[in-house]
Amino acid sequence: MTGAGLSEVANPSALFLAGREAGAPGAAVLAGMEGSRPMLLEIQALVTPTTLGTPRRAVVGWDSQRLSMVLAVLEAHGGVRLGGHDVYLSIAGGLRIAEPAADMAAAAALVSSLTGAALPPDACFFGEIGLSGAIRPVIHTGLRLKEAAKLGFRRAVLPPPPSEKGEDAPAGVALQRCGHISALVAEIASAAPQRNPQRERVRERA
């Protein structure tokens, strides 16, 4: 809305990523879908030691039950202990998302905040996490990758393809396949600051 009335937003992804603090722990970019339109969003997480008997779980813009499931899978299959931590998760920009493809981006943001390891600023994430810890492929992979390439992202972390051929990557985008939550946790923890005690605990259990 402007002084002259409504104006078109030519690129919603760029709008939602505007002001992003690249290199900050606890932030992951989701290559998501809003209806039939691909859209890149930032998922922000804050994991901090709790002083309460029951840790807080607060989420804005995402399903709280989905967050509880991802936390349970991280504990059971990723070796990440979050029972003594408050967890806050938010979709930057005020948009609400519901698709399961956000699972991997949310998990990456949570582990990044816990360990203090910043995620690569040119990487985006998408994939559905199952209760076994396996990361499952999602629909519209090609559209998500094209949108990421258009915004200058050079790496996409995504599940293995459902068939041997898989999806061709747009020019300049490297595909990093991740089939299980333990592999995602281990990769993020390996980039954490050397003296971060949370990093050592996660790596021991991953």
Q: What is the pLDDT of residue 193?
A: 80
Neighbouring C-beta atoms of residue 74, cutoff 10 Å: 25
Quick: pLDDT tens for 114-123. Answer: 999 999 999 9
Kindly state the DSSP code that residue 66 receives in the 8-state scheme. H
pTM of the model: 0.87
Quick: pLDDT tens for 73-108. Answer: 999 999 999 989 999 999 988 889 999 999 999 999
Report d(CA 155, CA 153) in Å as an integer. 6
Report the percentage of the chain scoring pLDDT > 90: 68
CB half-sphere exposure, 143, CA atoms < 13 A? 12
Domains annotated on the chain, with CATH: 24-198 (3.30.230.10)
Report d(CA 124, CA 28) in Å as an integer. 7
- Residue 4 reports pLDDT greater than 80: no
Neighbouring C-beta atoms of residue 23, cutoff 10 Å: 10
